[in-house]
Amino acid sequence: MNKLVLFDLDKTLLFGIAAHRKAFHEAFKEIYGVDTTIDIIDHQGMTDQQIIIRVLKKLRFSDSEIKPKLKECMRFMAEEFEKAAEQEKIVPLPGAKELLEELSKRNVLLGMVTGNLEPIAWCKLQKAGLNPYFRFGTFGSDAIERNTLVKIALKKAKEEFGFEFDGNNAFLLGDTPRDVVAGKTAGVKTIGIATGDFSTEELKEAGADFVLEDLKDTKKVLAVIFNERV
């Protein structure tokens, strides 16, 4: 495998956010005793672990109040998500499945780099029917900062699949400026996809090497990754 393509999940490959929001809400209430939502902070592109910490800090919780219960909070949240997800339709975004299919055929190593906690990410992928394409990932339960997640993904790709990163053969696709910055920090090529809440201009401004409106045109995405003419 001489290419690695890393994908963000929410609003890049799939859509379905209600169960995730509910899981945060229930976990804040049960573990920290606060009735709050993730909307009190700018959470776009943050990892789940980071969102929990930032929301609580905004509510004036101290590190010593947050940290001892953080693992328990993440465990509870994943359980709540699986319950809530039964009621939710989680769907792949247009073109996502076709792109993954094509990349798999071309023997590209595929991985997730998502802020979602690991059990939540796999559950979403499975519900959207995209799980057969992924062999590994790094998750919001692996690190607080997204920048660290990309670096861990490169390390895992080498250790588990023998992938040798040469500076040009790894790509990260994501829908927020934080995805782009995380990819750049790790030195991979970044492709901003404007299927979330940010425009191609905003993603470009964040430093994306390439930007696309969406994943609908498989040939166009492949052209970027394989440096082909469309």
List of residues contacting Mg ion (CB under 5 A): 8, 10-11, 175
Q: Cα–Cα–Cα angle for 16, 225, 97, nearest 5°?
A: 30
User: Rounded to an integer, what distance in angstroms lies between the CA atom of residue 3 and that of residue 151?
Assistant: 16
Contact 49, 144 (CB under 8 A): yes
Minimum Å gap between C-beta 12 and Mg ion is 5
User: Rounded to an integer, what distance in angstroms lies between the CA atom of residue 9 and that of residue 44?
Assistant: 12
By C-beta, is 80 or 175 nearer to Mg ion? 175
By C-beta, is 163 or 178 nearer to Mg ion? 178
By C-beta, is 25 or 115 nearer to Mg ion? 115
For residue 122, what are the CA distances in angstroms to 38, 48, 130? 21, 14, 9
By C-beta, is 169 or 195 nearer to Mg ion? 195
By C-beta, is 8 or 80 nearer to Mg ion? 8
Minimum Å gap between C-beta 193 and Mg ion is 9
Q: What is the β-pairing status of strands 4-7 and 136-138? A: unpaired
Minimum Å gap between C-beta 185 and Mg ion is 17
User: Rounded to an integer, what distance in angstroms lies between the CA atom of residue 116 and that of residue 66?
Assistant: 19
Minimum Å gap between C-beta 8 and Mg ion is 4
Minimum Å gap between C-beta 43 and Mg ion is 11
> Closest CB to Mg ion belongs to which residue?
10
Minimum Å gap between C-beta 21 and Mg ion is 14
By C-beta, is 29 or 207 nearer to Mg ion? 207
User: Rounded to an integer, what distance in angstroms lies between the CA atom of residue 198 and that of residue 188?
Assistant: 21
Contact 47, 118 (CB under 8 A): no
